[in-house]
Amino acid sequence: MIALERRRQPSRVWTWAAPLAAVVLTMILGGAMFAALGVAPLEAIRTIFWDPLFNPQFASYSRPQLLVKAGPLILIAIGLSLGFRAGIWNIGAEGQYIMGAICGAGAGLAFYPASSVLIFPMMVLAGALGGWAWAMIPAILKTRFGTNEILVSLMLVYVAESILASVSSGLLRNPDGMGFPGSRNLREWGSAANNELIADTGMHWGVVAAFVAVILTYVLLTRHIQGFNIRLSGEAPRAARFSGVSPARVVIFCLGTAGALAGLAGFFEVSGPAGQISIDFNSGYGFTAIIVAFLGRLHPVGILLAGLLMALTYIGGELAQLMLGVPGASIQLFQGMLLFCLLGVDVFTNYRLRLSRGETA
């Protein structure tokens, strides 16, 4: 019979092999699903994983798009991973992302149509502050009153969405927009535009920020006492307390960083790829980033790779819809399979499979 036996220590091999195994397993299961939908499975898998990178017709456009799509995911996931390591569950990155976009865009639009090199840095700062402030609400409620940060941060997403709807059709509405909701297009205003730094590479300031965040977090976690405190708080809360780590400070630091990074992601998105504040500006990056954080094992480099992989399934999924006519829902199903397989395969990190004979049982 087959039994699962707990490992004394999490397997180092499986920690890294699990995501790869999950991807392979997803390809097999997903292939079966596409076959059931009447699409050649190999072709579908090739379209999703290969074509965005190497198809001569699309690749020159979709390769840079990978960075555009992965940038905000990585930036948000990096911030979330700090909290997740310390056992602080910030589920509301979507709200922090929205508030960052609103504050950043709003701070800039207050000076429209001025032209100054100072406007963009000021907007970056306002964006980070907006996200930070929104994350401080669950942080302070948790440290002062012991509320649950999962619920508070999640509920604040809906509040942020309502504020977004309100400012798009009120405060930030484009006065020249014929009464339609949505702000001015920031990309058409040089001082506030977050355009590509090098043409046709997809590199905008948000992608740069994501790479910088990966490096800084790596240094923080491996070289800095605060990184050690964060890991300790998550792995051994009692030991952390004995060694003088203040839980409240860790909460404030983790939520604050996550909020600021999500706010930055929102600002870079609104001033770059999206261009304007609109009622449904947010498209779920804050929630998808949670998946990216776990897919990347909460490790900065892992998150970088996971963000790129997630972006690949998005863009490849779009190509599959376009070229093969598969329904949009099947792509979401495919992404769901990826997470499901990862969680399933993850069992082997902490357990080993043992085959024993029936009579010994």
Partner 1 sequence: MNRRTLLASAAILAAAPAFAQDDPVKAGFIYVGPIGDGGWTYEHNQARLAVEEHFGDAVETVYQESVPEGADAVRAITQMALSGADIIFTTSFGYMDPTMEVAAKFPDVKFEHATGYKTADNVSTYSARFYEGRAIQGHIAGSMTETNKIGYIASFPIPEVIRGINSAYLHASKVNPDVEFSVVWAYTWFDPAKEADAARALIENGNDVILQHTDSTAPQAAAQEAGDVITFGQASDMAEYKPQPRVSSIIDDWAPYYIDRVQAVIDGTWESQQVWHGIDEGMVEIGEITDAVPEEVREEALALKEEIASGEYHPFTGPINRQDGSAWLAEGETADDGTLLGMDFYVEGLTGEIPN
CB under 8 A: which stretch of 25-33, 246-254, 322-330, 334-342 binds partner 1? 322-330
> Of 215, 325, 343, 356, which one interacts with partner 1 (CB under 8 A)?
325
Q: Footprint of partner 1 on residues 258-287 (CB under 8 A)? A: 269, 272-276, 278-281, 283
322 contacts partner 1 (rule: CB under 8 A): yes
CA angle (322 as vertex; 321, 328 as ends), nearest 5: 25
Q: Counting contacts by CB under 8 A, is residue 359 touching partner 1? A: no
- Is 56 among the residues that bind partner 1 (CB under 8 A)? no
Can residue 243 be called a binding residue for partner 1 (CB under 8 A)?
Answer: no
Q: Cis (ω within 30 of 0) for the bond into 113?
A: yes
Comparing CB distances to partner 1, the nearer of 90 and 278 is 278
How far from the centroid of its chain's Cα atoms is residue 156's Cα? 17
Residue 37 interacts with partner 1 (CB under 8 A): yes or no:
no
Could you give the CA distance from residue 227 to residue 214 in angstroms, rounded to a whole number?
A: 14
Give yes or no for a contact between 149 and 252, defined as CB atoms under 8 angstroms apart.
no
User: With respect to partner 1, which residue has the nearer C-beta, 162 or 222?
Assistant: 162
Measured from the CB of residue 7, what is the shortest distance to partner 1 in angstroms?
Answer: 42
- CA dist 293 and 83 (Å) reads 11
Binding residue for partner 1, selected from 14, 34, 58, 134, defined by CB under 8 A? 58
Instruction: Return the exposure string of 85-98: e unless at least 16 CB atoms fall within 10 Å of the residue's CB, then b.
Output: bbebbbbbbbbbbb
Element (H, E) at 215: helix 205-223
Q: Does 335 bind partner 1 (CB under 8 A)?
A: no
| Angle between helix 149-169 and 247-271 (nearest 10) | 30
Our finding on whether 318 is near partner 1 (CB under 8 A) is yes
- Determine the Cα–Cα distance for residues 109 and 342; give it in Å rounded to an integer: 43
Q: Considering only 100-108, 161-169, 241-249, 250-258, which stretch makes contact with partner 1 by CB under 8 A?
A: 161-169
Considering only residues 67 to 96 of the shown chain, the ones binding partner 1 according to CB under 8 A are 68-69
Pattern 180-219, partner 1, x by CB under 8 A: xx---x----------------------------------
| 3-state percent helix, strand, coil for the chain, nearest multiple of 5 | 70, 5, 25
Q: How many residues bind partner 1 (CB under 8 A)?
A: 39
If one asks whether residue 166 binds partner 1 (CB under 8 A), the answer comes out as yes
Q: Which is nearer to partner 1, 89 or 205 (CB)?
A: 205
Instruction: Please tell me whether residue 251 adopts helix, strand or coil conformation.
Output: helix
Tell me the DSSP string of 81-135.
Answer: HHHHHTT-----HHHHHHHHHHHHHHHHHTTTT---TTHHHHHHHHHHHHHHHHH
Give the pair of three-digit tokens for residue 170. 């009120």
Is there binding between residue 178 and partner 1 (CB under 8 A)?
A: yes
Nearest-angstrom CA–CA distance, 294 and 98: 22
Stretch that binds partner 1, among 40-48, 109-117, 165-173, 211-219 (CB under 8 A): 165-173
Q: Which is nearer to partner 1, 123 or 298 (CB)?
A: 123
> By CB neighbour count within 10 A (0-12 exposed, 13-18 middle, 19+ buried), where does 331 fall?
buried
Q: Which residues here bind partner 1, judged by CB under 8 A?
A: 57-58, 61-62, 65, 68-69, 161, 165-166, 169-170, 173, 178-181, 185, 269, 272-276, 278-281, 283, 315, 318-319, 321-323, 325, 327-329
